[in-house]
Structure 1
């Protein structure tokens, strides 16, 4: 979702109305990220429910700086500046390791068996832009395993603007989105306790390598084809040959949609896809682009590491693609579709930039009812999944998502949103999913007005539950714009570059907030930041009533640690945030802000029950001069 500058905030003051509510949050050490675990620098003592937070991921995550290494430790400055070619700010835990010369390495001991590796890394762009490919050497217990292929094709966006459409792939000036990821399925499995080393050997000849984190995972063998499914190979697809398999994939999906087969099977292999899979030859000639999705289709793969769809052509270079706005890969979905156990790898390189170029969308459409997406890996797209289509597009096909389920998703390295619930999406969920390095909100509900009936088609009763969100390089971890009954629960959110970990806002002209919005049992580490020409500082949780009010907000059983600015922030705007309830909230170490801050133009009130705040630069609670906001203690039954 495009971000536009918010109204300037009142300059931060070191002195104001500050009230100590409680003190003394304990600290604990760093641990690998495993199932339901905290991202790096888990510093505040967890509550009794903390074990339920985050996704139940099958991999263990290791921070480079926590292992042994020979190289240069990169760290963010205290205000974590973004957009200035700053590797420290864009690193997980705000630290990474740079390998400058032959023989330098990062080494760590595995906590479980593994036969795969993912490395979050940065290497330089090509001198003229467009990225380059280099190798880095992997060793296990001192023995060479293989060369890992690293690429900067999908990183390095240049420009001094915070407008995403103003960034470019052409080198010059400051850069951002410096990191990308490389993954490999290894030939052998290695037991717990293996010493893995990423080493720069003599033939690893990038100018430098920055290693941020590593995922190790024991990947199961490919699943067998279910008896009821028909393989795309029966329609002419051939794995691993580099030829475009779109026609065969589309033919299989169309056959399923017509009831000729019961299920589409994508076997293990690399399958090239250069056009969006959709409903072909729609009977809507007045529509300038084909925006009719598939329905009544089941697509299954052998596992996200095994059945992988990929494109080689960036969408803006594809020419003549069948779905110009949403790109040349992935699926357009209208209703009753199930997709599971495969990967969708786009080839986007930019959002906007020269000529309004976009990186495509992995999954998009109306989604309708009975749609379930499970265990799908999406990478290098503009948006992972955009849920909803404007009513005016093709009115007779109106069918907003209702009961849509995303689970076990792995969405990484996008140029905009991870998953956006738009256009009246209701009763829908994202659960047990991991999102990393998204270029806009990792998860969002946008209750926009482009619906059939604004009085009823309001985004409502959606839930983002049990997800791990890391390193959004632009915008929020989770955002809700309007609607009612929406819930943000049991999530781990860490290392936002410039925006809050969680934001409720009425910018983007949404339908109003009403009823309740629940934010409960979440953990936020190192979130918030400075943006819009560095004129605005955002809290870890920010409520921004830009024009309309945001009523009915409850924040409970939540821990906020090591925020770049404020822990919880009530931002100046034309509306109010009345009667906010904070219960069982711990805020520690707001580095450059207050525990709770109300801006000078903020209106509304917050009642605090069992809220503890410690070690905040600007005091525990701060109401800026001119504010009509009221903060008080108060528990409700």
Structure 2
């Protein structure tokens, strides 16, 4: 299969607060696997395949919806039997599909299905939705899901699934069958990845299941998880363990100080729900690793804070190998008027997708922090931001570094925004499909 090579902005070094500024350059960003240590951009674990470079019996399009696809092209499946196929260049056991299906006539989204074929057999029925897409801007107003506003955009969302492993050279196909009832499926891309087995529980952590959390039962586990966090503090444990499975958090947001929250891996352990957010207030730092945080906020919630990781975040907090979707900002550090600005935050190896706001916003005087080797796609504001909200002079954010990050298709903002402070550096990062503010 021929893979089309696209161009992406590649930032060398930009330091805000000094006179040093090297030129940006344009370099290729294609579908092949990244090198072990990429010159620019994030080191990622998947191989990306653009739909328009696949094998299809449907239409390759570059119209309104497709214009917000990565590369500004996509494939539209409309008739029963329409399909698009890809030949895996590496072994894989998981798939992410970036796609668009129609909105409901009065907004709010529709649910549908799509067939996933491997080696010519339909192996899964993917549950797809438009509940988190289709923004209507209209006359410069705040984003809404009301079609009466007009000027639709932000059409895309993603679905992810685990599958039985298959080797390089295997055909993977998406197909609209009789049971798949959406009027159309605009396929932008797929990511194929070989997911590692789940990690084992460290001995120094309490399991949230010991305090009543039950995976995959649909019940609200928020209170049980908070009990486990409180018990870890009272009994001197290092933190809590999220076993494989999906645990819902619907009623209350979770809060902790000086603890670890770890899971079996971002493909294995998931916190999901309208309150699946985490805060680490005060001066003590926290360590978050190896799980997914999947919100369920609809687009109007962009006016009410529902950030994935939020608050002061203390000193030397680490957020690594996490996957964040369907919240406002993936991470918003700092709190207005706080005596404990975020200091020494490290974010690495993480994925921020399909957000109503920023990917990572280092705000309220955040300093001495690093965001690296993380991937951002379909953010609803600037993907990576260093801000100066509520602080000035020496209290403003300083000496933060954004390096080796990759951004694709920010739907309402820029890839990078350095808005204040001093000594802040953006380097060795790529920007693909910046739509502007």
TM-score, normalization: structure 1? 0.62
Equivalent in the alignment of 1:374? 320
Q: 1:235 aligns with which of 208, 211, 221?
A: 211
Tell me the CA shift for residue 485 of structure 1: 0.9
Give the alignment of 1:136-535 within 5 angstroms.
136-163=114-141, 165=142, 167-172=143-148, 173-186=150-163, 188-279=164-255, 294-311=256-273, 313=274, 328-334=275-281, 335-351=284-300, 357-358=303-304, 360-391=306-337, 395=338, 398-448=339-389, 450-451=390-391, 454-499=392-437
Q: Which has the larger radius of gyration?
A: 1
- Distance across 2 between alignment mates of 1:36 and 1:431: 16
Query: What is the CA deviation profile of residues 291-315 of structure 1, one whole-angstrom value per residue up to 9, with x for unaligned ones?
Result: xxx311111100011100101x4xx
Contact 1:123 1:151 (C-alpha < 8 Å) held by counterparts: yes
CA distance in 1, matches of 2:416, 2:145: 27
CA distance in 2, matches of 1:425, 1:159: 31
Q: Pick closer, same or farther for the CA change 1:227–1:27 going to 2, 3 Å.
A: closer
Determine if the alignment matches structure 1 residue 59 to structure 2 residue 46: yes
Whole-angstrom distance in 2 between the partners of 1:303 and 1:207: 35
Residue 119 of structure 1 contacts residue 182 of structure 1 at CA under 8 Å; is this kept in 2? yes
Structure 1 residue 259, shift from structure 2 partner:
4.6
Question: In 2, are the aligned partners of 1:276 and 1:331 still within 8 Å (CA)?
Answer: no
Query: Normalising to structure 2: TM-score of the pair?
Result: 0.90
Query: 1:498, CA displacement in angstroms?
Result: 2.9
- Which residue, out of 86, 104, 113, partners 1:126? 104
- Measure how far apart 1:409 and its partner are: 1.0
Distance verdict in 2 for CA 1:100–1:408, change over 3 Å = same
Structure 2 Cα separation of the partners of residues 27 and 64 of structure 1: 21
Contact 1:359 1:415 in 2 (8 A): no
SS at match of 1:222: coil
Give the C-alpha shift of residue 237 in structure 1: 0.6
Take 1:358 and 1:162, find their aligned partners in 2: how far apart are those partners? Answer: 19
In 2, Cα distance between equivalents of 1:27 and 1:261: 48
**Residue 447 of structure 1: how far off its partner (Å):** 2.0
Match of 2:69 in 1: 91
Q: How far apart, in 1, do the equivalents of 2:399 and 2:88 lie?
A: 41
User: 2: distance between equivalents of 1:370 and 1:91?
Assistant: 37
Distance 1:231 1:96 in 2: 44
How much does 1:463 deviate?
A: 0.8
The 1-side partners of 2:72 and 2:144 are apart by 25
RMSD, matched Cα: 2.0
Instruction: Classify the secondary structure of the residue corresponding to 2:228.
Output: helix
CA distance in 1, matches of 2:418, 2:88: 38
Gaps of 5+ in 1: 1-24, 38-49, 77-85, 280-293, 314-327, 500-637
257-266 or 432-441, larger mean C-alpha shift: 257-266
Structure 2: runs of 5+ lacking an equivalent = 1-24
TM superposition shift of 1:263: 2.2
Q: Is 1:440–1:474's contact at 8 Å kept on the other side of the alignment?
A: yes
CA distance in 2, matches of 1:492, 1:481: 19
* SS of residue matched to 1:336: coil
What SS is found at the alignment partner of 2:280?
Answer: strand
Q: Does the 8 Å CA contact 2:66/2:186 hold for their aligned counterparts? A: no
Per-residue CA shift, 1:595-628, capped at 9, x if unaligned? xxxxxxxxxxxxxxxxxxxxxxxxxxxxxxxxxx
Deviation at 1:72, TM superposition (A): 1.6
Q: Matches of 1:70 and 1:358 in 2, distance apart?
A: 44
Distance in 1 between the 2:41 and 2:32 partners?
A: 10
Task: Give a deviation string over 1:547-575, Cα, whole Å, max 9, x none.
Answer: xxxxxxxxxxxxxxxxxxxxxxxxxxxxx
Within 2, Cα distance between the matches of 1:34 and 1:401? 35
Q: 8 Å contact 1:349–1:359 — kept in the other structure?
A: no
Q: Deviations over 1:320-377 (max 9, x none)?
A: xxxxxxxx2211112310010001100111146xxx8437111100112121010111
